[in-house]
Amino acid sequence: MNPHEIDLVTASAQRLAPVLPDVAHTFYSRLFALYPDLRDAFPAQMEAQEKKFGDSVAAIVAAIPDFPAFAETSERLARVHVAHRVTASQYAAVGPVLVDALAAHDPAWDAATRDAWAQAYDLLAESMQLSARP
């Protein structure tokens, strides 16, 4: 990611911070509507999972400008996702759903912000998958 993309993601994350619980709810609602087979991989009561989602988004955004911190964060998330047997196709499916959920709650969303978040997710997903390799 270039510095401008990092700035766009950071600014968007600041706008989204007060509504991350809503973003998480939108994300999981859309994910399960599009991929109902994924619902069984999550707890029946989603409140704690939605909190983890918000905490993870905040941690990732905070780490993006600092590559060692980003690598550490992605490795930590990779371990969790390996334990849940997340596949490459699931990583690919989640990206657009995440970006759409973010867009639904960011009042200053535009094409450049969408592209920057997509780039951030792709970087994270790739890093997590590389970290998960034996």
**pLDDT by residue (tens digit) across 78-102?**
767 655 676 767 888 899 999 999 9
| In the predicted structure, residue 69 carries a pLDDT above the cut 90 | no
The total number of structural domains in the chain stands at 1
CATH assignment of the domain containing 107: 1.10.490.10
- What's the rounded Cα separation, in Å, for the pair 134 and 120? 24
Mean pLDDT for the stretch of residues 8-33: 96
Q: Given this model, what pLDDT does residue 89 score?
A: 79
- Find out whether 74 and 128 touch, Cβ atoms under 8 Å: yes
Q: What angle do CA 30, 18, 63 make, to 5 degrees?
A: 85
- Higher-confidence position of 75 and 134: 75
Structural domain that includes position 39: 3-132
- Find out whether 60 and 119 touch, Cβ atoms under 8 Å: no
Predicted TM-score (pTM) of the model is: 0.87
